[in-house]
Homo-oligomer: A and B are copies of this chain.
Amino acid sequence: MNFSSKLLEEAVQAFATLPGIGKKTALRLALHLVNRPAEHAEQFAEAVQNMRRHIKNCQVCHNLSDEPVCTICANPRRDRSTVCVVEHIRDVMAIEETAQYRGLYHVLGGVISPIEGIGPQELHMDSLIARAASDEVKEIIMAISPTIEGETTIFYLSKQLKPFDVKISLIARGISFGGDLEYADEVTLGRSIQARIPYRTEE
């Protein structure tokens, strides 16, 4: 691209470092900020700086937090006996969105992946084991993606957690609600037949 302005070029390059943002989109975003009032760009930059400077990981569950302990872990009305293990912060948000879960979380930060060089040491596993060792925790729910890496992680974790008196469960797997059988992949469909559940009518 031919930039008449070095300042514009640098802002475009900064936007283009973000995932999924190409050069053309970066240019559109930068020009948008040029064409809007200056306060808008200042507020935008400050929001990014404030977040990066002051955001923390919760000391208990490693979720993103403004305080040393996140609002979920600090909430006295949450069920402290259940811990839901997830890969990423986004998974916490997705589960919270359902409003079906009132326990606590534990964010691993990923799954075991030898190809990407991620072993148990790179993940927040020790702190999960420490939580399992406390008397408070009675059940650990594995809400981890059903991929090969995810299954490996669940297997590894379940072995590590064996010595402790906690129930380990998996989130249900099968055909999505609203999903079309015809378009379900064969592994999902096959397993959902094997793991069929009794039909119950509400009485």
Contacts and interface: CB of A to CB of B under 8 A. Distances in A.
A49 interface: yes
A72 B2 CA distance: 11
Interface residues of A, number: 58
Interface in A74-116: 89-90, 92-93, 96-97
Given A19-B28, A29-B19, A44-B14, A52 B38 contact: yes
Given A19-B28, A28-B19, A90-B31, A1 B97 contact: yes
A66 interface: yes
Nearest to A14: B47
Contacts of A8: 51, 55, 64
A134 interface: no
Nearest to A27: B90
Interface string A108-144: 0000000000000000000000000000000000000
A41 interface: yes
A38 to B, nearest CB: 6
A203 interface: no
Given A27-B90, A49-B41, A65 B4 contact: yes
A196 interface: no
Interface in A4-32: 4-8, 10-11, 13-15, 17-21, 25, 27-32
21 contacts: A2-B97, A4-B63, A4-B89, A4-B92, A5-B55, A5-B66, A8-B55, A10-B47, A10-B51, A15-B44, A17-B40, A18-B29, A18-B44, A21-B29, A30-B48, A34-B55, A41-B48, A41-B51, A44-B48, A45-B46, A45-B49
